[in-house]
Amino acid sequence: MTQLIERRSFLRAGAIGLAGLGITGLIPAWARSGSPGLAPTLPTLSGEDIHLKIANTHFTVGGRTGHAVTMNGVLPAPLIRLREGQNVRLHVENTLDEDSSIHWHGLIVPFQMDGVPGVSFPGIKPHSTFVYEFPLLQSGTYWYHSHSGLQEQQGHYGPMIIDPAEPDPVAYDREHVIVLSDWTFLNPHHLVTKLKAEGGYFNRRKQTLFGMMKGGPEEEMSASDRAMWGQMRMDPADIADVTAATYTYLVNGHGPQENWTGLFHPGERVRLRIINAATMTIFNVRIPGLPITVVSADGLNVRPVTVDEFQIGNAETYDVIIQPTEDQAFTFVAESIDRSGMARATLAPRLGMTAPVPPLRPRPTLTMKDMGMGGMDHGSMAGMDHGAMAAGASAAAGHGNSHSMSGMNMRDKSLVPDSVKVGVGVDAIAMSPIDRTGDPGVGLEDVGHKVLTYRDLMSLTPNPDTRPPQRTIEVHLTGNMERFMWSFDGEKFSEGVEPIRFERNERARVVLINDTMMTHPIHLHGHFFEVVNGHTGSYPRKHTVNVLPGGKVSFDLTADAPGDWAFHCHLLLHMHAGMFRVVTVRPLEGDAA
């Protein structure tokens, strides 16, 4: 503890130096380029009473200005820094002419403070103030954002750090918050309209005939496989719904040209608190030349694991430690999953230093594994080297198996429980979905260096509830790419679906099966769940989990938070299109959890 305070006073000098730079407004102090890191002198919001004002503002990036919805006039919103064990009152004033809200993403709060209009509270009416009040029961890196309409796409998000009551087990000399996001000058509702009109509208890197003749990594697919994908009316180049065709990817509100720069002294252990606050973008994060040691996931500490790259789904957070020893700059690269663009920043000893920016890598192409056929023909391979098999399966599936496709039913209702409605909104059912927690993410299988997988994550502390789950709830992630429809179990939330119900303190297993060919970051409010990844008793505890295409993820849940909670895909437009459910935990009465 003492150590930490000393470190901070040391940083204070740097912060005062920065004040002289006279950087313009609209970017919060913590997010300014040239930041020496977080220090007590930076005007973060902390204490028992915090005031936030939601308003229409302007946001400028790449020399162009557009309309934004922000908090306290800045994008991203102010850094809220609190301490585990304290109480906080957050006074949120909505100056918009429409409803708004703030959801405290990842925080364990009473349901009525969770901030989801129509589920946990009525929402914050125009020109009114709502006061959130709750104790802080945890520590770590979190964030907060609107849960109303599509305001999050317009800039309504910000970071939140809860310092631990006990000494932090993560030692570091300096820390930076890195909020990744995606910005568009289009009205977010126009994004939806475009996608409803043409599901592949934003994909400007499709397979083409000339491309096929010319060859290249993005066109590596035989004519017969192309025909097979075409027969299914599926596009193997459809990696992200919204791409750099409209997005500018941001680091702390800075576009790639603005080049947000975070400072360090060589030899320091630098903690980066990385938050994916993007609307529709899953990022692949790397810092060429620097190993990245992941020390916490979704706010909770994990055993340190060193990687070269990791994929971060929307709403996930990772805290990492880097230790640059040279007096040189490093480029922080957050490539969008489809590699149409990147968020870029620089970590350097001095402002103005830069490092080479690596070019975008080729757009990935989906494989049979992404189509939900990962588990086919594996029976005979039991006991073999499954690592090799996984690679072999996608290669074999990508070529050899394709000719037998014509006889296959891609929407075989017998593969799903009756609760799944295989209708207009379901264009495929995974024939043989496999657990993909050992996979690094779409396009990251063969990047030539170590990429984080969920199986690399182990909780630093033993899991609090090691009761075996008593009941399995299977939830299918379903969609129709062509009509841009997204749902759980084939039914959109708007169709008036039943909640997913748990008994209070019930220990249950939720199996998420992704029948679609996209990665979905699935978020459950009000709880941490244990991602079943083989490390029984030390499962990583998360609030959001990426489910890879054609794959499945199981999590064990202790339903210890009475109330009603949102459960949804954190790709905002998927949620908006219907991939949303209410989870209920009953009874409400009794001791507070």
Partner 1 sequence: MKPLVGIFIAAVATPALAQQDHGAAVQQAPADPHAQHQMDEQSADPHAGHAMPPKPSEPTDPHAGHQMPSAPATDAHHAHAGHEPGIPDPPGGPPSAAALGGPAHAADAIFGAATMAPAREVVRKEHGDIKSGMILIDQLEAVIGKGKDGYAWNAQGWYGGDIDRLWFKTEGESRFGESLESAEVQALWGRALDPWWNLQAGVRHDFRTGPDRSYAVLGVQGLAPYWFEVDGALFLSDKGDVTARFEAEYDQRLTQKLILQPAAELNFSAQDVPELGIGSGLSTAELGLRLRYQFVPEFAPYVGVKYERAFGDTADFRRAQGEKAGGWKFLIGIRSWF
Map the footprint of partner 1 across residues 464-493, applying CB under 8 A. Answer: 466-474, 480, 482-483, 485, 487, 492-493
**Distance, CA of 370 to CA of 394 (rounded, Å):** 9
CA separation for the pair 412, 476 (Å, rounded): 14
Sign, CA dihedral 235-239-241-244, equals negative
Question: Which C-beta is closer to partner 1: that of 32 or that of 492?
Answer: 492
- The smaller minimum CB distance to partner 1, of residues 261 and 533, is found at 533
Stretch that binds partner 1, among 4-12, 20-28, 207-215, 274-282 (CB under 8 A): 207-215
Applying CB under 8 A, among 65, 128, 231, 354 the residue interacting with partner 1 is: 231
Residue number, 64 or 467, with CB nearest to partner 1:
467
Number of residues that bind partner 1 (CB under 8 A): 125
d(CA 401, CA 386) in angstroms, rounded, equals 19
Q: Tokens 């690269």 correspond to what residue? A: 333
Q: What's CA 400's distance to the chain center, in Å?
A: 35
Within positions 283 to 342, which residues make up the interface with partner 1, using CB under 8 A? 293, 295, 301, 303-307, 321, 323
Of the pair 45, 295, the CB lying nearest partner 1 is at: 295
471-510 exposure pattern, b = at least 16 Cβ within 10 A, e = fewer: eebbbbbbbbbeebbbbbbbbbbeeebeebebebebbbbb
Of positions 108, 239, 434, 444, contacts partner 1 by CB under 8 A: 434
Which among 59-67, 135-143, 155-163, 532-540 is the span making contact with partner 1, rule CB under 8 A? 532-540
CB of 586 to partner 1, least distance (A): 5
Applying the rule CB under 8 A, the residues between 22 and 81 that interact with partner 1 are none
Neighbours of 575 (CB within 10 A): 22
Residue located via tokens 């299977």: 474
Sign of the torsion formed by the C-alpha atoms of 68, 129, 125 and 106: positive
Name which of residues 341 to 400 contact partner 1 (CB under 8 A).
375, 378, 381, 385-387, 389-390
Q: Which among 155-163, 174-182, 352-360, 535-543 is the span making contact with partner 1, rule CB under 8 A?
A: 535-543
Instruction: Return the range that interacts with partner 1 (CB under 8 A); candidates 69-77, 397-405, 516-524, 536-544.
Output: 536-544
Interacting positions 86-115 with partner 1 (CB under 8 A) = 99, 111-112
Helix (H) or strand (E) holding 389: helix 386-398
Residues in contact with partner 1, shown as a per-residue x/- string from 488 to 527 under the rule CB under 8 A = ----xxxxx----xxxx-x--x-x----------------
Binding to partner 1 (CB under 8 A) within 132-151 occurs at 149
Identity of the residue, 205 or 570, whose beta carbon is nearer to partner 1 in the bound complex? 205
Match 């060589």 to its residue by tokens. Answer: 266
* Least distance in angstroms from the C-beta of 458 to partner 1: 6
Which residue in 472, 476, 512 sits closest to 491, CA to CA? 476
Which tokens in the block code for residue 258? 């603005």
Contact letters for partner 1, residues 254-273 (x by CB under 8 A)? ---------------x----
What sign has the CA pseudo-torsion 488, 143, 547, 576?
Answer: positive
Alpha-carbon span 418 to 426, nearest angstrom: 14
* Closest CB 266 distance from partner 1, rounded Å: 14
Considering only residues 171 through 200, tell me which ones interact with partner 1, judged by CB under 8 A: 171, 192-193, 196-198
Residue 438 burial (CB count, 10 A): 16
CB of 429 to partner 1, least distance (A): 11
Residue from 429, 404, 401 nearest 415 by CA: 429
Select the residue interacting with partner 1 from 144, 201, 249, 528 (CB under 8 A).
201
